[in-house]
Amino acid sequence: MYELNLTRIDSQSTYLSTCLQVIQEIDRPTNEIERFALMRSFHIGVECVIDIGNTIIDGFIMRDPGGYSDIIDILEDEQVISAILANKLKTFVKLREQLVRYYDQVDDRSLEEHLGDVVVFQQFLEHIDAFLSREKANGNIYV
């Protein structure tokens, strides 16, 4: 049986849902404030994915990740998320690097490319819910 910080996962999931909502409401930014909100929502959304993944990896004592993309690989290897979702999430991890390191150089085209795949955040949450439900049903999570 594993001790998992479900409160933290719930909090991070709620915040990811908020990021998703902001992205969907803005869709195409019409001014700098909307552009900034869109960029930060993508950035924080990816941070939420990474934090949720890390919490699961720690709680289930999975192998130690070597970086953000490795967190996604571990979740795929441990069948928390599908291979298709993992590949899509890795593109968001790359976007995160741009938003964190080269925030002054992110162009609108790069953001627009990711707008069509923003459902990935919702899919991630659904995969996490399904995984946790399975593990609870199997008696693997100490609640």
pLDDT tens readout for residues 65-77: 999 999 999 999 9
Under 8 Å CB-to-CB from 12, ≥6 apart: which residues? Answer: 48, 51, 52, 55
Q: What pairs with residue 2 in β-bridges?
A: 141
Q: Which CATH class is domain 2-137?
A: mainly alpha
Q: What is the pLDDT of residue 11?
A: 97
Q: What is the pLDDT of residue 28?
A: 85
Evaluate whether 131 touches 29 at the Cβ level (below 8 Å): no
Q: What is the pLDDT of residue 143?
A: 63
Domain boundaries, the chain: 2-137
Q: What is the mean pLDDT of residues 23-28?
A: 90
Compute the distance between CA of residue 130 and CA of residue 112 in angstroms, rounded to an integer.
Answer: 30
pLDDT at 48 over 70: yes
User: pTM surpassing 0.85?
Assistant: yes
pLDDT in tens, 84-100: 999 999 999 999 999 99
